[in-house]
Amino acid sequence: MKNIQLLSGIALIALSFTSCKDEKQEKAQRTVDSYVTYVDSVKNVAAADLKENWKTVESEYDRKAQEAELALADIKDNSAATEKINTSKVKYEEFRKEMTAVFAPPAPSPKQQLRNALFGEGKIGDDMSFSWVNAQNIHSVYQQFVHTVENNKDRYSREDWDEIKLLYEALDSRKNTVEKEGLTSEDNRKIAGLKIKFAPMYTVNRMGAKSEENKEAKK
């Protein structure tokens, strides 16, 4: 009788162990399936909604991906589950690249690119405001402007030179205001030297650009 009870106890423990093991494996499989479903479902969300919540989407993806990877250890034969995870990884990476391109801000216009190069990223927009230029930084602003023009003078079109002249005159106008706000005589002298360098460079190269355009038009 004792032997029967002992065997029954062992069988019960074994059954309980198997049951727990099966439950653990099923839970792991559900975790993998949840990851796969998330990747498939997020691809069906409107781009506008994704853009607004992209950080949350990325955070949730990383969490589910990590959980799915860890769950593989609890699946006895996990080759099919591994393939599912790898396929979803590829899907999501392709989707991420696609969304990155969609969410990227539009490339600045050629005119804005020129302004960015001459003054710094986003410093001068459509409003042509130079209010950020002051007595402390105006010399460095002129310096960047003139040196950038000098380094790229052979690449500019006639339209570029016209834009450069417009910006130069606007900067000069700002200088008239800044002179009354504490511009040092040393910086004023240095700016004068840069202006002397710019004037003939503009005249010669603008004429050259126009001449090249006329030649191209005749062809």
Q: 26-49 pLDDT, tens per residue?
A: 888 989 899 999 999 988 888 888
Instruction: Write down the residue that tokens 């080759």 correspond to.
Output: 79
Report the pLDDT value the prediction gives residue 88, as an integer from 0 to 100: 93
Tens digit of each residue's pLDDT (9 = 90 or more) over 99-149: 888 888 888 899 999 999 999 999 999 899 999 999 999 999 999 999 999
Tens digit of each residue's pLDDT (9 = 90 or more) over 5-24: 444 444 444 444 445 567 88
How high does pLDDT run on average in the chain? 86
The whole-angstrom distance between residue 209's C-alpha and the CA centroid of its chain comes to: 35
Tens digit of each residue's pLDDT (9 = 90 or more) over 57-95: 999 999 999 999 998 888 888 889 899 999 999 999 999
Cβ within 8 Å of residue 124, ≥6 positions away: 115, 118, 130, 167
How many CB atoms within 10 Å of residue 9? 10
For residues 59 and 211, the model is more confident at 59
| 3-class SS of residue 72 | helix
Sign of CA dihedral 54, 58, 63, 67: positive
Enumerate the H helices of 53-157 as residue ranges.
54-71, 79-103, 110-119, 138-152
CA distance 89 to 65: 8
Q: Are 130 and 81 in contact (CB under 8 A)?
A: no
Report the pLDDT value the prediction gives residue 21, as an integer from 0 to 100: 60
Q: Which of these, 39, 37, 40, 46, lies nearest to 103 by C-alpha position?
A: 46
Tens digit of each residue's pLDDT (9 = 90 or more) over 173-206: 999 999 988 899 999 999 999 999 999 999 999 9
Share of the chain above pLDDT 70, in %: 86
